Amino acid sequence: MPARIIESNEKRAEHVVVDPITIDIIENAIANTRHEMDAVLQRTAMSPGIREQKDTFPLITDPDGKMIVGQFGSFVQGFLENYKGVIEEGTIFLLNDPYSCEGAISHLNDWLTLMPIYHGGMLVGWSAMFGHMTDTGGREPSSLPYGAREIFEEGIQIPPVKIIEKGKLDEEMLKLILRNCRMPHWNRSDLMGLIASVKTSGRRICEIIDRFGVDTYLSVLRELLGRNRRAMSRIIASAVPEEKSCFEDYVDDDGQGTGPFKIACSMWREGDRVIFDFDGTDCQSNGSINFFLNEAIFKMFFGALMIKLFDPDIVYNDGFYDLVEVRIPKNSILSPRRPAAVSCRGHVAGRIFDVLHGLLGQSAPDALCAAGFSDSPHFIYYGRHADGRWFQLYQIGFGGIPARPRGDGFDGHALWPDFTSVPNEFLETYFPLRIERYESIPDSGGAGKHRGGNGLSVAYRILQPGEISIHDDRWLTYPWGVKGGAPGARGSKLLVRADGSREWLPAKCERVAVEPDDVLYFNTWGGGGWGNPLERSPDRVALEVRQGLITTEGAHRYGVVLQENLTVDKEATAALRAEMTARRPASDELFNRGGTLDEILARCKSETSLEPPRRPGI
């Protein structure tokens, strides 16, 4: 660790044996602190992305930077390994440069504040919070340029700097940074919220230590990490086989006409350790969809998913990290070389979850979910109000949650944890647009015993001249179904001009000029289905037809025929199901991808009206 940490108190904490009850009390107290961090930021932030959509991630670690509570793993260790300066009490660091922290944050929009927590002059932990800024400069409004080839085009790069030193905010540096952003008052307010949030958690941790003593507190952190490690080691032993399983999935293109990019991964267990090897993953893109995959964050993806699948009571922290080994080939799309562009890394990041499900589900089919989780579609619209004021909207989209062993996927819900939508009445009030339709797309969820969630269709009527950018994927490859379930429908983007002409826009495009009364139909994809659709209750299918979630024709995919009053025609249904059962293969493939990649590419133009991408490296 090249960073030099200054502690005025030379005393070292001693390990003490702590009774299990005190451990649980401190665990709860730290968890409450984390929730308070979220609350402080969301109440003060200004950009809709942080405020409404909760694109923020809190973290509290032990003195070594190991996550005790948080969501996306620790950002601190990546920082500590790269930071070469002095760390002392009263400092809050700001950074957004993925290449300065081993990818602990993955694009420049994510501004990360980090604070060492001191108690009585001794370093007792770190608090960190990051939030996605609507704009951080660079060549495109919202700072997510598909056309970028280098990170220099993506906005201002902030290596770890002391935005607060000895308790004092560096206004000069902040001035310089904000001058490089298009929405400086949002950045400023959001940054103040981030700082307030880490300060709050620092205070709370000190209060906990006042109550229990520093020796007890730090011993408890070790025990919490140990608890998690013991639990995860059992889960890994029971859920991950020694035999190698392999899976691959794709990100359709990079917005520059190249794709699909393959993410390949194999997984196996050696003793109580699990190994993930991404050998076979395609090389880095010339565009900006590269995802600098931080090992710690991947481990957290894996751990969090295992816990949810196998024992949701476990609190996840960094304790199990040495049980997981991650091998990522250099210069691949998961480990790009600086200065490769990385701003639009969300598609690859999201696809990692589908890959994990595909891997884990092979050895534990009862825990197998279909595909469609996750990505984070964006709609960006900017220009000037009638009175000349600049406006800039960055909005996260939603889609079909995949079908799960537990039941159906959800229609039009968030593909990232805890995100929420921005109220349409709010958007209409502050941006020159009208949202004329906001509903899920019938039949877009993959058919199955458990139905995949429907994708969402949002119709934006443009009211002021401006430009739009679209960030989405799964327009080409399907969100696959499992165990006999059908794939979900793919996404599409249709722009109907004021004169009635129609243009199918690519899923990834930027700077598309729009005029008043153009209408954009932003249609996301559906989740894959789970299990044989012929086993779905016909009454349930009929109900969903009446609800408008499935069409009458769509009901046929479940072998269900309806009468005119939209109730089940029992006889016709029995006949159709018998006929369909006879046509089905004797046993279902575990995964249904809707055809091979070659077949999908061959059908691309006729089905999507868009040119197929060029294969990478070809």
Report if residue 576 touches another protein, rule: CB under 8 A: no
Which of positions 308-347 make contact with another protein (CB under 8 A)? Answer: 308-309, 311-315
Report if residue 572 touches another protein, rule: CB under 8 A: no
Specify burial of residue 534 (Cβ count, 10 A radius: 0-12, 13-18, 19+). Answer: buried
Start-to-end CA distance of the chain, whole Å, equals 42
Name which position in 8, 9, 331, 547 contacts another protein (CB under 8 A): 547
Specify burial of residue 580 (Cβ count, 10 A radius: 0-12, 13-18, 19+). Answer: middle
Residue nearer to another protein on the CB measure, 257 or 365:
365
Name which position in 13, 23, 263, 293 contacts another protein (CB under 8 A): 23
Name which position in 21, 386, 582, 618 contacts another protein (CB under 8 A): 21
Minimum gap (Å) between residue 90 Cβ and another protein: 15
- State how far the Cα of 142 lies from the Cα of 467, in Å rounded to an integer: 12
Report if residue 42 touches another protein, rule: CB under 8 A: yes
- Residues 6+ positions from 207 with CB-CB distance below 8 Å: none
Per-residue DSSP letter, 401: P
Residue count, binding to another protein (CB under 8 A):
90
Report if residue 301 touches another protein, rule: CB under 8 A: yes
Q: Which stretch binds another protein (CB under 8 A): 15-23, 118-126, 272-280, 604-612?
A: 15-23
Report if residue 12 touches another protein, rule: CB under 8 A: no
Report if residue 45 touches another protein, rule: CB under 8 A: yes
Name which position in 64, 89, 248, 428 contacts another protein (CB under 8 A): 428
> Would you give the binding string for another protein spanning residues 435-474, x where CB under 8 A is met?
xxxxxx---------------x--x---------------
Minimum gap (Å) between residue 104 Cβ and another protein: 16
Q: Which phi-psi region, left, alpha or beta, contains residue 149 (left: φ > 0; alpha: ψ -120 to 50)? A: alpha
Residue nearer to another protein on the CB measure, 147 or 226:
226
Report if residue 429 touches another protein, rule: CB under 8 A: yes
Report if residue 522 touches another protein, rule: CB under 8 A: no
Which of positions 361-420 make contact with another protein (CB under 8 A)? Answer: 369, 373, 398, 401, 404, 406-407, 409-414, 417-420
> Would you give the binding string for another protein spanning residues 470-509, x where CB under 8 A is met?
----------------------------------------
Minimum gap (Å) between residue 514 Cβ and another protein: 19
Q: Are 321 and 372 in contact (CB under 8 A)?
A: no
Specify burial of residue 8 (Cβ count, 10 A radius: 0-12, 13-18, 19+). Answer: exposed
Residue nearer to another protein on the CB measure, 367 or 447:
367
Q: Are 273 and 325 in contact (CB under 8 A)?
A: yes
The C-alpha angle 263, 264, 268, rounded to 5 degrees, equals 140
Q: State the sign of the Cα–Cα–Cα–Cα dihedral 248, 252, 255, 258.
A: positive
Which of positions 204-263 make contact with another protein (CB under 8 A)? Answer: 227-228, 230-231, 234-235
Which of positions 150-189 make contact with another protein (CB under 8 A)? Answer: 185-186, 188-189
Helix, strand or coil, per DSSP, at residue 508? strand
Q: Could you tell me whether strands 433-440 and 481-482 are parallel, antiparallel, or unpaired per DSSP bridges?
A: unpaired
If we measure between CA atoms, which residue out of 521, 504, 512 comes closest to residue 380? 512
In the chain, DSSP finds a helix count (H) and a strand count (E) of: 13, 24
